[in-house]
Structure 1
Amino acid sequence: MEDATMKLEIEVEPRHRAGKGGARHTRRNGKIPAVLYGQGQSRLLAIAPKFARDAIVAKRGHMGLLAVRIKGGDETEERYAVLQDYQRDPITGAILHIDLFEVAMDKPLRVKIPVTLVGGMPVGVKAGGVLQNPLREVLVECLPGDIPDHLEVNVAGLEVGQGIAVKDLAVPSGVRVLEDPEAKIAAVASKISEAKLEALLTREEAGVSPGETEAIAQKSKAGETSGSTESKEAK
């Protein structure tokens, strides 16, 4: 199962000096100080900026699992971990520190997974409704090797007044969702004006994703309210 797991490989090396002085020394040598926590211990590491950036991008993309190759002399050992935290310089944006958390491949862990809306604009939105997406990620529990990249929800068939709840999610084997089963992931609310509908359909043709339709509708509503106020003041 591990060979089929979607994971990112990064290389690190042991770091022998602790504290602020050790961290500064690591940065002067072109590396970023890091710590690998978990399994009852913490290990000081140094990581190249490229691998640090890769780990951050992987977390944003919810790839999740990292294969950490620790290279010390002629020996290399591999550990599995997730990115726990990182720090950046507030002025330059440079990565200052990386925290990794080691995981055991045979022990479940809890992670948040993004929910992606697919299928294009729902039929209910085309009929004048508004697509709502209140829950954009869900907390799941699974083995590290079973962490899904994301979960998909097809909203194409949603009519006005219909929705998709957590209990309706199709999840891979071995993954348990820990959210309220009745919590709504997506729903199509009541009808909107023809002006708003025209704006939504125009943006659909321009390639706007379904998750953005609610924001578009809200902007249209704000514009109508503003116009109404100005009209009253003119009178």
Structure 2
Amino acid sequence: MKQLLLEAQIRSAVGRSDVGRARVAGSVPAVLYGKGETNLNLELVDKKNQSVMFTPGIFNTLIKLTIVGDTPREETVMVKEIQRHPVSEKILHVDFVKISMDRKLETKVPVHLEGTAPGVKEGGILELVHRELHIRCLPAMIPEFISLNISALAIGDAITVAQLPLQEGIEVLVDAHEPIVHVVAPKAEEVKTATDAAAGAPAAGAAAPVAEAKQPEVIGEKEREERRTEKAKKA
């Protein structure tokens, strides 16, 4: 799998006011966590390194982190959490976790669909039940995404966890019979509405129904009728 390169500096100031000043100066505070180790306070001091955090799939990507300080060193890490400003999306804080390449870990990987399902052309509805999957494997085996070909799915068909085209050594932490994507028939109400609409429409070439013709009003006819009635009464 791909590995990103990142550089961070040791951050000595850890108070809230110090962190605030670092942000004003353009730095992004960060922390590196390691199992059984003391947390290490870091900061990303330039835009180039900060932009790495916007990489698609950043949460399931290995990062080669170079830590600059009195004793520079390199660590293999992954992003655990990114805090962003709710409006500007500006990165406020990053949590990294140290990774051991010979120890399995758990992460989530997105699902990508390929092709067009015949069942959709037949009127079915394609439902992606799981947009991402929770997996367990060695760090070097983490896929960027899981690709599923849906070009053979008819109405009623599904691709389950057991049918996933995965490399040996990758375990999906979801029931094997769980559908990931399937094509379902449209609801009965939708079918009835479509049928009624088709039945109510005029056949091809047929004239549309014409409303009952309304007799035109004859100007002055009402007055003449009233005068004739009045004369008959006097007679």
Normalising TM by the smaller chain, what interval?
Answer: 0.7 to 0.9
Partner of 1:232: none
Deviation at 1:31, TM superposition (A): 1.2
After TM superposition, the structure 1 = structure 2 runs for residues 160-179 of structure 1, keeping only pairs within 5 Å, are 160-179=155-174
1:146 matched to 2:144: no
- Residues 144, 166 of structure 1: alpha-carbon distance in 2 compared, 3 angstrom cutoff: same
Question: Which of 49, 52, 62 is equivalent to 2:50?
Answer: 52
After TM superposition, the structure 1 = structure 2 runs for residues 65-214 of structure 1, keeping only pairs within 5 Å, are 65-73=62-70, 75-119=71-115, 121-190=116-185
- Residues 43, 166 of structure 1: alpha-carbon distance in 2 compared, 3 angstrom cutoff: same
Structure 1 runs, 4 residues or longer, greater than 6 Å off: none
**What is the TM-score with the length of structure 1 in the denominator?**
0.73
Q: Identify the range of structure 1 (31-40 vs 86-95) with the bigger mean alpha-carbon deviation.
A: 86-95
Question: Is contact 2:60-2:108 (8 Å) kept?
Answer: no
CA-to-aligned-CA distance 1:44-103 (integer Å, 9 cap, x gap): 00113432331242445x552111111225x53111111111222334432211111111
Partner of 2:15: 19
- Separation in structure 2 between the aligned mates of residue 113 and residue 175 of structure 1, nearest angstrom: 11
- Separation in structure 2 between the aligned mates of residue 32 and residue 117 of structure 1, nearest angstrom: 35
- Separation in structure 1 between the aligned mates of residue 152 and residue 57 of structure 2, nearest angstrom: 31
- Separation in structure 2 between the aligned mates of residue 56 and residue 65 of structure 1, nearest angstrom: 14
After TM superposition, the structure 1 = structure 2 runs for residues 22-41 of structure 1, keeping only pairs within 5 Å, are 22-40=18-36, 41=38
Partner of 2:213: none
- Residues 91, 187 of structure 1: alpha-carbon distance in 2 compared, 3 angstrom cutoff: closer
After TM superposition, the structure 1 = structure 2 runs for residues 211-226 of structure 1, keeping only pairs within 5 Å, are none
Q: Report the residue type matching 2:83 in the other structure.
A: Q
Deviation at 1:129, TM superposition (A): 1.6
Question: Is contact 1:59-1:83 (8 Å) kept?
Answer: no
Other structure's SS at 1:68 match: strand
- Residues 13, 164 of structure 1: alpha-carbon distance in 2 compared, 3 angstrom cutoff: same
**Could you tell me the percent identity over the aligned residues?**
31
RMSD: 2.5
CA-to-aligned-CA distance 1:10-68 (integer Å, 9 cap, x gap): 110101111212212322432111100123221000113432331242445x5521111
Count matched residues: 192
CA-to-aligned-CA distance 1:109-155 (integer Å, 9 cap, x gap): 10011111112x11121222221111111110011111110111110
Gaps of 5+ in 2: 198-235
Q: Report the residue type matching 1:129 in the other structure.
A: G
Partner of 1:42: 39
- Separation in structure 2 between the aligned mates of residue 9 and residue 154 of structure 1, nearest angstrom: 32
Other structure's SS at 1:148 match: coil
Q: Identify the range of structure 1 (89-98 vs 31-40) with the bigger mean alpha-carbon deviation.
A: 89-98
